[in-house]
């Protein structure tokens, strides 16, 4: 299996760039996003450099030709956060106009801090928050006010600061067991498909979220899908439970790969040297059978974009 990845290097991007195959990317240290004013041009240029993904999805199916992957590298975390806010706001506008709703999935962990600029001007005023429907790609089965709760993390860091209708924030039922909470969450998703809030992928038969804003652990896990855990091979369920998570707390629920890989857009946010080893493996052309979970995130018909700082790509060779 081989993965084709285009590398879009932020401030160097321009519409006159030669094709990526013939272009040597300058070192990341020379290509920061420098100012908010330059971001629209830079981001739109970067998107034109995205290429079809060549890797196979985890079920062995080849992604559709429209499936794309790209990499944005930022000199500073602050710049990454600015760009991530703009990316999300643009998708919010697009899907609100197209569908009248914007289904946004978030992870826990470091991702939430990287979303902080959405709660600041201009996005606080310009985003149509009434269209947002917020979900968790994974959740720890703990009370919502527990320090380990991904809901609490997102509420404190973002949701308490923006006017999303409370009924459109889909936290887990924390009174249930892990298995019960996973089943309950899947039932909610199925209802939202029936209501037309949540789209379905014609290609996969699984729900198609508008965007998933995800982080990755240092071991390459995404959501609560951990390296070597049998849950990475789940093919039927939309939402599964785990009671032996190698990272505490042990009881969690998680979206499965068929759901993640049906997304329209995924932003994979990786910040810091602790992620460098997994990022190097994920971006390598040489694929081995021991795929990390992050390497199993291959969209069937969508756009997958890495948002990385320099430390996170420090082990990646040109």
Which residues contact ligand LXAUTJHC (rule: CB under 6 A)? 107-111, 138, 150, 215, 217, 224, 247
Q: How far apart are CA 265 and CA 212, in angstroms?
A: 6
Query: Which is closer to ligand LXAUTJHC, CB of 6 or CB of 254?
Result: 254
Shortest distance in whole angstroms from residue 254 CB to ligand LXAUTJHC = 8
Return the C-alpha torsion angle 71, 47, 211, 302, nearest 10: -90
Shortest distance in whole angstroms from residue 113 CB to ligand LXAUTJHC = 9
Tokens at 125, concatenated: 């005023």
Show Cβ contacts of residue 293 under 8 Å, excluding neighbours closer than 6 positions. Answer: 220, 221, 222, 223, 225, 226, 227, 232
Which residue's CB comes closest to ligand LXAUTJHC? 109
Shortest distance in whole angstroms from residue 226 CB to ligand LXAUTJHC = 9
Query: Which is closer to ligand LXAUTJHC, CB of 118 or CB of 271?
Result: 271
Closest by Cα among 28, 6, 33, 32 to 17: 6
Shortest distance in whole angstroms from residue 222 CB to ligand LXAUTJHC = 6
For residue 101, which phi and psi values (nearest 5 degrees)? -155, 155
Q: How far apart are CA 231 and CA 54, in angstroms?
A: 24
Query: Which is closer to ligand LXAUTJHC, CB of 39 or CB of 312?
Result: 312
What is the crossing angle of helices 77-99 and 39-48, to 10°? 70
Query: Which is closer to ligand LXAUTJHC, CB of 58 or CB of 110?
Result: 110
E-assigned strand segments in the chain: 6-9, 51-52, 68-74, 102-106, 132-136, 138-140, 199-200, 207-208, 211-215, 239-242, 252-255, 265-270, 303-309
Query: Which is closer to ligand LXAUTJHC, CB of 101 or CB of 114?
Result: 114
Shortest distance in whole angstroms from residue 114 CB to ligand LXAUTJHC = 9
Query: Which is closer to ligand LXAUTJHC, CB of 203 or CB of 216?
Result: 216
- Residue 73's beta-bridge partner residues? 9, 308
Shortest distance in whole angstroms from residue 110 CB to ligand LXAUTJHC = 4
């Amino acid at each position: 299996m081989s993965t084709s990845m285009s590398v879009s290097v932020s401030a160097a991007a321009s519409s006159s760039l030669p094709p990526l195959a013939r272009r040597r990317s300058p070192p990341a240290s020379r290509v920061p996003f420098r100012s908010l004013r330059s971001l629209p041009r830079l981001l739109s240029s970067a998107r034109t450099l995205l290429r079809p993904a060549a890797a196979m999805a985890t079920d062995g199916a080849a992604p559709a030709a429209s499936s794309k992957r790209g990499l944005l590298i930022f000199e500073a975390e602050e710049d990454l956060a600015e760009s991530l806010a703009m990316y999300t706001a643009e998708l919010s506008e697009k899907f609100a106009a197209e569908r009248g709703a914007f289904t946004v999935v978030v992870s826990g962990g470091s991702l939430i801090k990287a979303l902080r600029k959405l709660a600041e001007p201009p996005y606080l005023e310009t985003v149509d928050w009434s269209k947002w429907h917020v979900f968790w790609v994974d959740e720890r089965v703990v009370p919502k006010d527990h320090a380990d709760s991904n809901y609490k993390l997102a509420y404190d860091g973002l949701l308490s600061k923006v006017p999303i209708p409370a009924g459109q924030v889909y936290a887990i039922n924390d009174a249930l067991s892990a298995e019960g909470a996973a089943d309950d969450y899947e039932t909610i998703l199925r209802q939202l498909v029936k209501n037309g809030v949540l789209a379905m992928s014609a290609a996969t038969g699984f729900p198609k979220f508008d965007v998933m804003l995800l982080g990755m652990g240092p071991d390459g896990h995404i959501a609560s899908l951990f390296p070597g855990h049998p849950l990475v091979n789940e093919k039927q369920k939309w939402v599964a439970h785990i009671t032996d998570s190698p990272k505490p707390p042990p009881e969690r629920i998680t979206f499965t790969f068929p759901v993640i890989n049906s997304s329209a857009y995924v932003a994979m946010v990786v910040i810091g040297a602790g992620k460098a080893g997994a990022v190097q493996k994920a971006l390598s052309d040489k694929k081995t059978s021991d795929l990390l979970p992050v390497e199993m995130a291959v969209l069937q018909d969508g756009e997958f974009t890495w948002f990385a700082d320099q430390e996170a790509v420090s082990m990646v060779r040109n």
